Amino acid sequence: MITSIQNPKIQQVRELLAHSRARREQGAYVVEGIRLLEEAWQAGIQPSGVFFSADLNPRGMVLVEEMRLAGFVTEEVEFSLLKRVSDTENSQGLLAVLPYRAVDLPLNANFCLILDAIRDPGNMGTILRTACAAGVQSVLLSSNCADIFSPKVLRSAMGAHFHMPIATKSWGEIQEYLNHSPEPPAIFLSDVREGQSLWQCSFTEPTALIISNEGAGASDEARTLTTHVVHIPMPGGFESLNASIAAAILLFEVVRQRANP
C-alpha cells in the first residue's frame, strides 16, 4: 500500500493533475472516478497506473480487478492520501494515469465543430459532452483553447473524449482538413448579432460550426475561414449567451434539421 506523498508515482499524479506542460511532456493525463475510468477502459485505453483506496465501492473494485487480471498495474493507496492528491472535492477512491493516443480525424465528416479560443474548462467540457451527444464527427480546437486533458475539462465532458475524435490544430491545419474532405463543408461562424438567423440557415449538407470565446468574440483566423455567419435570435434583448449554451442550441438545430429534412 502507498502511504507517502513522496512516493514517485503519487508525485507523478500530482504533477499531471496540476500542470498542462507536464501532461504534454509526459504524454499522459489523469482521470478520476469510476464512470470516467469505465468509459476509458471500454474505449480500449490502457492505463499506465491505477490507484484505488479500500473505500472504493464494489462497482469500482470490479473495474480495478478487471484491469489487474488484464495485466495492468493497480496499487492500493491510503484513502486520506488519495483524497489529498485528488482534484475532486469528494474523491471516489479511484484514479488512473492514461496515455495520450493518436487521433485519426475522419476524412468524410459532414458534421464538424471548431472551437475558437474557448478557455474556460467548464465551458469546454460541457461543449464536448454536448457535441458527443449530438453526433459530431470531429472536433477541432485552436491552439489557444483550454487544455482538453485538464481535470475540470475531463470531468465536465463526462467521457466524451473517449467517443469522438478531438484534436488541437493550427488554423492552417484546420483549413487543410476541411478543404480535403470529399465534400468540403459550409463553415458557419456563430455571432451574437451578425449574419442569418439560426432558423433561416440550412444545415442538412456537410457543416462545420465555429464557436468562439464569448467575451473576446471570433478571432480573425476564424472569420477568414468562415463561409456563413449565423446568430441565435434573442428576443429578450440579452447581450449574449454562454458559449456552451450557444453551442448546444446550434448543434441540436443541426440534429433537428437532419432528422426532418
pLDDT digits (tens, 9 = 90+) for 169-197: 999 999 999 999 889 999 999 998 789 99
The Cβ of residue 176 has, within 10 Å, a number of other Cβ atoms equal to 11
Residue range 8-99, CATH number: 3.30.1330.30
Segments making up each domain of the chain, as ranges = 8-99, 111-259
**Angle at CA of residue 43, ends 37 and 45, nearest 5°:** 70
Query: How does DSSP classify residue 99?
Result: E
Residues 108, 181 contacting (CB under 8 angstroms): yes
In sequence order, the 6+-apart residues with CB closer than 8 A to the CB of 172 are: none
Residue pointed to by grid coordinates 482534484: 87
Residues of the chain with pLDDT under 50: none
**Range 111-259: architecture per CATH:** 3-Layer(aba) Sandwich (3.40)
**Residues counted in the chain:** 261
Residues 156, 247 contacting (CB under 8 angstroms): no
**Residue 54, all three cell numbers:** 479500500
Q: Quick one: pLDDT at residue 217?
A: 87
Beta 28-32 vs 94-99: how paired, if at all?
antiparallel
